[in-house]
Structure formats: C-alpha cells, structure tokens
Amino acid sequence: MLDLIWLLPTFSLLGFLSLVLTAGTLPKRIAAIIGAGSVGLSFAVAVIIAIQFLGSGEEYFVKEVWTWMSVGSLNAGFSFYLDGLSLTMMLVITGIGFLIHLYATGYMDDDPGFSRFFAYMNLFVAAMLMLVLGDNLILLYLGWEGVGLCSYLLIGFWYTNPENGYAARKAFVVTRVGDTSMAIGLFLLFAQLGTLNIQDLMYAAETQWAVGSGLAVAVSLLILGGAVGKSAQLPLQTWLPDAMAGPTPISALIHAATMVTAGVYLVARTHILFELAPTVQLLVAWIGLITLLMAGFTALTQSDIKRILAYSTMSQIGYMFLALGVGAWSASVFHLMTHAFFKALLFLASGTVILSLHHEQNIFKMGGVRKQLPVSFWSFLIGSLALTAFPFTSGYFSKDEILLAALELDGPGLWLWMGGVLGAFFTGLYTFRLFFVVFFGDNKGHEPTQEVGGWNMSWPLFVLMVGALLAGFIGLPLDAVFGGHGEEEHDVSALIHGIMIAAPLLGIGIAYLFYYSKTFSVDKLMASPLAKSLHKFWFSGWGMDALYNWLFVYPFLWLARINKDDLVDKLYAFVVVLSRAAHAMIVKTQTGYLRWYALSVATGLVLILTLGVLL
C-alpha cells in the first residue's frame, strides 16, 4: 500500500483535469462530488498509508515514480519521501483540506464559477502534496510554485473587481521574490554539494560544512527568504491581509491551514542547514517574534473580520518561526498542526457569519448574533479559546512547548520568551475583541434571518471543533525526523507556568471590560492624538505597504513609463536620421554639371595621391 503513495496527488490532479476539461458544463452536484470527493479519497489513502507506515516502524520510505530530469550530475525524479514530518503534513492537507472542500460545496453553491473554483482547489491540494512529499528540492519547488499559482488564482477568483486582481498579483509577486531567493539557494546547494535530493543534501552538508561556515549561512539565508515569502513573515508579509479578497474557504485552506505554513515545513525539512548556521537560526527566531508582535498589534486595530484572522495567522506563524529559531522543531510542527485545526475552524465559521449577514465583513456592523448563529457562535468560542491557548485546548499545548523552548535558549531566550508571552496577551485581547463585538451587544442593522448552510457546511465545523479542542493530545511521530529533539521534559517553576497561562487570560479580561461589559470605553482611549496616530500606523500594517510602494513599485512604474519607447531603439532612429541627413547632403552634390564632377574627381585624385606619397 505504501507504494501507492503517488495516488495522493493523483486523485486531486484528476479532479482538476476533469473539472477543467469539462469547462463548467458538469452539473453542480457532479462537480461537487468530483471536487470534494477526490480530496476525500486522498485522505482515505493517506490514513491507510499512515497506519501502515507507523506500523512498519521504518524511519522513512521512498518511492520513485519516474525520472523527471537527468542532466549530467543533476538527477531529479518524481519521487516521494515519507517520514514523520511529511506524514503529518500529508494528513493535515488531505484531512482538513477535505473538510474545507466539503464546506465549500455549500459556501460556493450559488456561485457561477463553481466548477472553476473546485478545479483550482483540487490543483492546489495536488501541488501542496507534491510540496511536502517531494524527495528533492526541485519537486518541492514544483509544489511550492504550484500552490503559489493556485493562491493567485483563488485570491483573484472574483475577477470582475480589479482590487481582487491586484491582491492576487501582489500575493504572487511578493511571494515570488522569496521563491527566487530560494531558487538561488538551490543553485548554490547544487553547485556546492552536487545534488538536490533533500536527504543527500542534508547528509553532505552535515559532513562537509563546519558549523557557522559561510556557505551554510548563505544557503540557509536564501532558503529562509523563500520561507518568509510563503509564510508571510517579515519582511515579505504584506501580501497576506490583501489575500483575504478570495472566497473564505480559500482563506481557511490556503491562507491559514496549509500553504502559508509551507515556509515552516521548508525550514523544518532543511533544519540541518539552519543548525549549521546558528546566526541565521537565531534570525529566524527574531523574525518570528517581531512578526508575531507586529501582526498582533495590527490585528487589534482591524475591523474586517477576515483581516483580523489574517493578521492572527501571521502572528501564529510567527510563533512557529520562533520555535524553529530556538530549535524546537517538533513544537513548531505541532503548533502548525493545532493551528490548522483552530484557524480553519475560525475562518470557516467566519464564512458562515459573513454569508448569513449578506456578505458583511465589518465586525462593527455585526453584533448580537449569538442566538441566531449558534453553530458559528460555538465554533468561534472554541476556535478563539484554542487560539488564545486557553488551558487544555489544542493551542495551549503547542504554544506552551514553544514558549518553554524559547525560555531555555541561552542568551536571548528570556527576551524571546517575554516577547512571546506579550504576544499571547495580545492574542487574547484581539481574539476576544472580535468575539465579543460580533456575537454580543446590539445588532447594528444586519439582522440574519437564519444561519446559512446545510449539513455540508455545519459538519466540517463540528469536526474541526473537536480537533481544536483535542488535537493537543495527539503525539506526532517526529522524533526520528529531528533526531530526538521531540518531546522534552521542561523543568520550570510554577511562576513561569502561571504567567504563561495568565497572559492570554488577562487579554481576554481586558477585551471583556472594553467590549462586553463596556466598563472602559474605546472611544475615550482613542481620543488622544497619540492613540489616533498609533492606531492609524498599526491599522496600515506598520506602513510597510507604503514603504514598499515608495521603494519598489513607484520607481519601477516610473522607469517603465519613461522608457516605454525603448531608449535603445531611439539610438537606431538617430542613425536613420543621420543617414537621411547625409543622403540629403550627398544629393546636393548630384548637380548634373560636368565641371562639378570633374572638379570633385580631380580633388579626390589629388587627395589620394598626397596620401599615397605621405604614407
């Protein structure tokens, strides 16, 4: 059965092909069955493969399907590599992916592009599986670019609005900056180590490079460039909030559960390179910390329900990067998995809210819908608790691991830990701000008649609720992958634990006082000019968009505009003008007078003779 691992992406790919080739002529029901069914089949196969693999006790399994390209010493195949890490990713992608596909059959029901939507979704799942199962970096890169393409297609799914198109292109181009960095990393790895097979590379790097060597630093920096692009971390994070222009199931699948965590996967997969470059690894931790704090602040100022969740995703991936940076590889992947559950839950539930309120996304125009939208309410409650790491929800266990690992790091560990705890406080604050504003208080004029969606929309929410609550008890088979860096006993005082539990609760408490009981008033707080400008600054995502516009976009557009007619062409045009002028001059010599010709012949003769004599 393990040999059939190639079936995983194949099912989705076939789904994609059949939906594309029929070009929307299929009845909606059939398209839904193909779209969601293909991923469901993949999940079933993934479960069987997982059981067999874990039962076999092997550390890894390789299956080569065919040779992709073999040029000189370069040899890359369509080969799949299964170990604890890719197994985890594979189950998350197909499992949560299937739930989201199922939900989407309801969510997209009245959309004219129904079949196109599922075609893109299927292609995405296929590419994502390639990404995590590929045994060489080129195959990984195939998946990497493939998910980027699908992200582009789905963000711009409602293409009549040019803003969606802009968001889609922004997402693609910004991540492509990272992708290019990663591609250069691949070239460097191949030039130095002569292979692009991941396991061979890791082995070769470990044996040939010393810790802290320049090559290791260069390569890990380049790969990190790819990771921050895909995972929306500083400095390439600006695309994610705009990516919310896509349909909400996309935000759940691509921009929360799977694709944006690909950067985390990439770093974890190549963790040996980062261990060889401790400075870069520490950089990963700081990037994670700064991103998680910046995104936390920004989430606090947003009013669009999806943008709040997007910044929250950015912030949670910041935690994963923090974990990677302090060498807590397993904790990072663990948080990736729990986050996939609760963030998918939150996004899908927000989808139901948005749809029930007739496409309203501004939380301040919602309010008091707790009774009318019971499934969304419970989804949000459980998802929010897990997100804020409320004790014994899934998020609690994974975030706990990360913060403790940060604390144990010598040197800046304490700072990283404190930053992480501060972030947890803000998580509690912004999450429950959203929760209280949407579900409590007065309705601001958007009376839902009833909660939309049949069983296909509510069942995925129930399953995800269970996952968000209980996924923390799952033990991931990652010890073999990260060489025993897995579960570690943390010996810390009760005070530390107390602070870590209290920080998000404090955040929730403050959110309660401001947004539920209204003991304090936000308006009063916002009255001071400092608060206003700070709010504006955070709201804009720390002005990063404006900065990049001035640094890159405007100069590029300016250059393009002034040189539209191609300077080089002008040079040739000049030659033409010159030769025409010369032509005109020479024409004047053609006077038709014999004496004029005779004179010029004589002059020429004299000139030549003089030259001949002189030389």
Using CB under 8 A, list all residues that contact other proteins. 20, 23-24, 66-72, 74, 138, 141-142, 145-146, 149, 152, 156, 159-162, 165-166, 168-169, 172-173, 176-177, 179-180, 183-184, 186-188, 190-191, 556, 559-561, 563-564, 566, 568-569, 571-572
Angle (CA) 96-348-264 rounded to 5° is 50
* SS3 state of residue 134: strand
Count of C-beta atoms within a 10 Å radius of residue 569: 9
**Distance from C-alpha of 64 to C-alpha of 139, rounded to nearest angstrom:** 12
Closer of 187 and 392 to other proteins (Cβ): 187
Which of residues 183 and 252 has its CB atom nearest to other proteins in the complex? 183
Half-sphere exposure of 482 (CA within 13 A, CB side): 27
Helix (H, G, I), strand (E, B) or coil at 564: coil
- Work out how close the CB of 138 gets to other proteins at its nearest, in angstroms, rounded to a whole number: 7
The token pair at 33 is: 């069955």
Nearer to other proteins, 66 or 593 (CB): 66
Q: What CA–CA distance (Å, rounded) separates 280 from 223? A: 10
Q: Give the shortest CB-140-to-other proteins separation in angstroms.
A: 10
3-class SS of residue 484: coil
Query: In the complex with other proteins, which residue's Cβ is closer, 17 or 480?
Result: 17
Residues 281 and 220 sit within 8 Å (Cβ to Cβ): yes
d(CA 437, CA 362): 10
Cβ proximity to other proteins, 149 vs 422, nearer residue: 149
| 63: CB partners within 8 A, 6+ apart | 2, 3, 5, 6, 79, 80, 82
- Closest to other proteins by CB, 20 vs 496, is 20
Length of the chain: 615
When the beta carbons of 37 and 113 are compared against other proteins, the nearer one is 113
Query: Quick one: 442 or 566, whose CB is closer to other proteins?
Result: 566
∠ CA 168-173-178 to the nearest 5 degrees? 130
Q: Which is nearer to other proteins, 89 or 186 (CB)?
A: 186
Q: Tell the smallest beta-carbon distance from residue 91 to other proteins (Å).
A: 24
Considering only CA atoms, which of 344, 456, 348 is closest in space to residue 29? 456
Complex with other proteins: residue 74 or 414, whichever CB lies closer: 74
Rounded to a whole number of angstroms, the minimum distance from the CB of residue 122 to other proteins is 15
To which H or E segment does residue 520 belong? Answer: none
CB of 568 to other proteins, least distance (A): 5
For residues 492 and 130, give the distance between their C-alpha atoms in angstroms, rounded to a whole number.
40
Q: Is 237 helix (H, G, I), strand (E, B) or coil?
A: coil
Q: Which residue number, 209 or 319, has a Cβ lying nearer to other proteins?
A: 209
Does residue 368 contact residue 441 with C-beta atoms inside 8 Å? yes
Least distance to other proteins, CB of residue 172, Å: 6
Measured from the CB atom, is 536 or 583 closer to other proteins? 583
- Cβ of residue 65: shortest distance to other proteins, in angstroms? 11
Residue type at position 275: E
Q: How far is the CB of 146 from other proteins (least distance, A)?
A: 7
217 vs 351: CA distance, rounded Å:
43
In angstroms, the CA 94 to CA 270 distance is 23
Residue 387's closest CA among 441, 339, 324?
Answer: 339
- Long-range own/partner contacts, residues 509-517 (CB < 8 A, 24 or more apart): 509/428, 510/428, 510/429, 511/428, 511/429, 511/430, 511/431, 511/432, 511/433, 511/435, 511/436, 512/432, 512/436, 514/433, 515/432, 515/433, 515/436, 515/437, 515/440, 515/441, 516/436, 516/440, 516/441
Angle, helices 84-107 vs 262-269, to 10°: value is: 170
| CB closer to other proteins, 164 vs 298 | 164
Cβ at position 155, least distance to other proteins in Å:
11
Question: What is the smallest separation between the CB atom of 603 and other proteins, expressed in angstroms?
Answer: 30
Q: Whole-number minimum distance, CB 123 to other proteins, in Å?
A: 10
Least Cβ distance, residue 508 to other proteins (angstroms): 42
Q: What is the closest distance, in whole angstroms, from the C-beta atom of residue 131 to other proteins in the complex? A: 11
Alpha-carbon separation of residue 237 from 240, 423, 452, 598 (angstroms): 6, 17, 33, 79
Q: Rounded distance, CA 209 to CA 275, Å?
A: 11
CB of 559 to other proteins, least distance (A): 6
Of 66 and 473, which has the nearer Cβ to other proteins?
A: 66
Report d(CA 254, CA 115) in Å as an integer: 18
Distance of CA 130 to the CA centre of its chain: 16
Given the complex with other proteins, which of 57 and 162 has the nearer CB atom? Answer: 162
For residues 33 and 53, give the distance between their C-alpha atoms in angstroms, rounded to a whole number.
29
Minimum distance between the CB of residue 87 and other proteins, rounded to whole angstroms? 24
